[in-house]
Amino acid sequence: MVLTTEALRLGGFDFFKLEDRLNDEQRALRDQIRDFVHNEVHPKINPYWEKAEFPWEIAEAMKTLPIWGGGIKGYGCAGLDTLSAGLVAFEIAKGDGSIGTFYGVHSGLAMGSIGRLGSEEQKQRWLPSMAKLEKIGAFGLTEPEHGSDAVGLETTAHRDGDSYILNGAKRWIGNASIADILIIWARDDDGALGGFIIENPNETEGVTIENIWGKISKRAVLNADITLENVKVPVENRLEKVRSFRDIALVLEFGRYGVGWEAAGVATALYEFAREYALQRHQFGKPIASFQLIQQKIVEMATEVSLMQLMCYRAAELLSEGYITPGLVSMMKYNNAKKGRYVAQLARETLGGNGILIENHIARLMLDAEVIYTYEGTNEVNMLILGRELTGINAIMG
Ligand SMILES: Cc1cc2nc3c(=O)[nH]c(=O)nc-3n(C[C@H](O)[C@H](O)[C@H](O)COP(=O)(O)OP(=O)(O)OC[C@H]3O[C@@H](n4cnc5c(N)ncnc54)[C@H](O)[C@@H]3O)c2cc1C
């Protein structure tokens, strides 16, 4: 049995009526993204995912959505409030994780770094074309030997007259092979952290970008290995307001906030699909939803999804009041990524054999949930950030 396209129109499971809090503008934005997912993402994404190809036609259609640059005000950016920013991540994730990563890397990490850490001139130079999606951004922090301990990164930026000369390697960088604006995080001659913008990286001498193939998760977004050999970057391309990891903490924390919503979105879609399937699929002459063991799965999923949504909405409120701690977003990301994996298993089980078929969407979302557990800080690292806040003792370094 395959779920029909109409059955895939997600209604928006919202047991605690959290959406009652949305104002008209937020509701209209939610509906716009929801329609986009139904019309552009669900009917088109699966072949791209299977072929591990970036879906340019979906990215092209996304240009019209008023979401780019998230909370950044001015420069043609969306200027979203914290709840709207969360809702966008949530609704896109209900469609597809690869599209979510494409959006999160470009809009959240790349534009977010320029918006928060760039000078006025740098913001005016790069943000308007990125807000129109004329230029695509990427964010290169992780290295082959430095994942969780990105703070130990080895890429160097040596000052040479009016330029910096970059040497090093990066790994897993989303959008890199299609990027026009690539931010490379490196240490300068004084050991200070810098964000260095390479324009047109795929045509820049000394930059080699190779896509990573064979991923089982987020197959339709491109992640790449990058090597940098004596890459010349003009001094004015160094983000002005960053000298240490403390300076990029807010970019990463807002990234985690978005991923917390993303995990909740994936889990909500999984629940909605699985419930619909359980009502339609008959065994022993009855819908499988009439069996207690299937209802148990439905109840477990609905409860976990509701808890995730409650955490997201409350975090949005606190952030809008200017309250944010590393532990707060780490708890949200940790809980939702962990429970998202659990919900994915239950949803997959509910569909029996049909659950492993990509045409029912659940298998793709289940595999997307896998990597949400690992990026924007692995769940172990987020757990330790939270543990540090709760106890005052830093256990991250062992
Ligand atoms: C699909 C995808 C997209 C990504 N996109 C980007 C991107 O756009 N830009 C970018 O810069 N990076 C990106 N990343 C990288 C991502 O941030 C890293 O994968 C992540 O930080 C973990 O690093 P690692 O994979 O090297 O794992 P490792 O750090 O090697 O961790 C391996 C295991 O050890 C555990 N571990 C490590 N340290 C500790 C500790 N102190 N205590 C307990 N356990 C520990 C981890 O939790 C994990 O279970 C992406 C990764 C993926 C998979």
pLDDT tens digit sequence for 203-246: 999 999 999 999 999 999 999 999 999 999 999 999 999 999 99
Q: For residues 349 and 356, give the distance between their C-alpha atoms in angstroms, rounded to a whole number.
A: 9
Q: Whose CA is nearest to atom 12 of ligand 1?
A: 142
Q: Which residues line ligand 1 (CB under 6 A)?
A: 105, 139-142, 147-148, 172-174, 218, 223, 371, 374-375, 378, 380-381, 384, 396
> How many C-beta atoms surround the C-beta of residue 3 within 10 A?
19
Residue 282 in tokens: 């008959």
Contact predicate 66/78, CB 8 Å: yes
CATH 2.40.110.10, the chain: domain bounds:
137-237
Contact predicate 133/190, CB 8 Å: no
Max Cα–Cα distance, the chain, nearest Å = 79
Q: Of all atoms in ligand 1, which is nearest to the CA of residue 138?
A: 8
DSSP single-letter state for residue 286: E
Element (H, E) at 223: strand 223-234
Residues 6+ apart with CB under 8 A from 37: 10, 91, 92, 94, 95, 96
What percentage of the chain has pLDDT greater than the value 70?
A: 98
pLDDT digits (tens, 9 = 90+) for 258-273: 999 999 999 999 999 9
CA of 317 to the centre of ligand 1 (A): 29
CA of 74 to the centre of ligand 1 (A): 33
What band does 327 get if pLDDT is binned at 50, 70 and 90?
A: very high
pTM passes above 0.85: yes
Choose one of 106, 145, 148, 248 to mutate for the ligand 1 pocket test, by most ligand atoms within 8 angstroms of C-beta.
Answer: 148
Helix axes 82-95, 292-320, angle to 10 degrees: 150
The rounded Cα 335 to chain-centroid distance in angstroms is: 16
CA of 15 to the centre of ligand 1 (A): 34
Q: Of all atoms in ligand 1, which is nearest to the CA of residue 141?
A: 11
CA of 136 to the centre of ligand 1 (A): 23
- pLDDT over 70 (residue 177): yes
Residues 6+ apart with CB under 8 A from 46: 358, 359, 361, 364
Q: Of all atoms in ligand 1, which is nearest to the CA of residue 221?
A: 1
Q: What is the pLDDT of residue 27?
A: 97
Q: For residues 273 and 237, give the distance between their C-alpha atoms in angstroms, rounded to a whole number.
A: 46
Q: For residues 165-186, give the mean pLDDT.
A: 98
What band does 12 get if pLDDT is binned at 50, 70 and 90?
A: confident
Q: For residues 79 and 81, give the distance between their C-alpha atoms in angstroms, rounded to a whole number.
A: 7
**Residue the block writes with tokens 């977010």:** 112
Q: What is the pLDDT of residue 250?
A: 87
What superfamily in CATH does domain 245-391 come from? Butyryl-CoA Dehydrogenase, subunit A, domain 3 (1.20.140.10)
What band does 170 get if pLDDT is binned at 50, 70 and 90?
A: very high
Choose one of 375, 388, 397 to mutate for the ligand 1 pocket test, by most ligand atoms within 8 angstroms of C-beta.
Answer: 375
Would you say how long the chain is, in residues?
398
CA of 274 to the centre of ligand 1 (A): 30
Q: Of all atoms in ligand 1, which is nearest to the CA of residue 140?
A: 11
CA of 377 to the centre of ligand 1 (A): 6
CATH 1.20.140.10, the chain: domain bounds:
245-391
**Residue the block writes with tokens 């078929």:** 357
Torsion of CA 309, 313, 314, 320, to 10 degrees: 160
Q: Whose CA is nearest to atom 6 of ligand 1?
A: 173
Identify the three-state secondary structure at position 227: strand
Q: Whose CA is nearest to atom 37 of ligand 1?
A: 148
CA of 221 to the centre of ligand 1 (A): 17
CATH 1.10.540.10, the chain: domain bounds:
18-131
What band does 10 get if pLDDT is binned at 50, 70 and 90?
A: low
- pLDDT over 80 (residue 8): no
Q: For residues 135 and 137, give the distance between their C-alpha atoms in angstroms, rounded to a whole number.
A: 7
Q: What is the pLDDT of residue 5?
A: 57
> How many C-beta atoms surround the C-beta of residue 397 within 10 A?
7
pLDDT digits (tens, 9 = 90+) for 57-94: 999 999 999 999 999 999 999 999 999 999 999 999 99
What superfamily in CATH does domain 18-131 come from? Acyl-CoA dehydrogenase/oxidase, N-terminal domain (1.10.540.10)
CA of 147 to the centre of ligand 1 (A): 4
CA of 277 to the centre of ligand 1 (A): 35
- pLDDT over 60 (residue 199): yes
Per residue, the 3-state secondary structure of 70-95, as one string, reads CCCCCCCCCCCCHHHHHHHHHHHHHH
From 297, 381, 376, 294, select the one nearest 108 (Cα to Cα). 376
Q: What is the pLDDT of residue 55?
A: 98
Beta bridge partners of 196: 184, 238
Residue 356 vs residues 57, 350, 361: alpha-carbon distances, Å: 26, 11, 9
Residue 196 vs residues 137, 146, 243, 269, 303: alpha-carbon distances, Å: 13, 18, 12, 38, 44
Q: Burial level of 208, CB count in 10 A (0-12/13-18/19+)?
A: middle
112-115: long-range contacts (C-beta < 8 A, 24 or more apart)? 112/70, 112/72, 112/251, 112/254, 112/255, 113/139, 113/183, 113/195, 113/239, 113/248, 113/251, 114/183, 114/197, 114/239, 115/69, 115/72, 115/75, 115/77
What superfamily in CATH does domain 137-237 come from? Butyryl-CoA Dehydrogenase, subunit A, domain 2 (2.40.110.10)
Q: For residues 134 and 129, give the distance between their C-alpha atoms in angstroms, rounded to a whole number.
A: 5
pLDDT digits (tens, 9 = 90+) for 342-377: 999 999 999 999 999 999 899 999 999 999 999 999
CA of 294 to the centre of ligand 1 (A): 35
Q: Of all atoms in ligand 1, which is nearest to the CA of residue 223?
A: 3
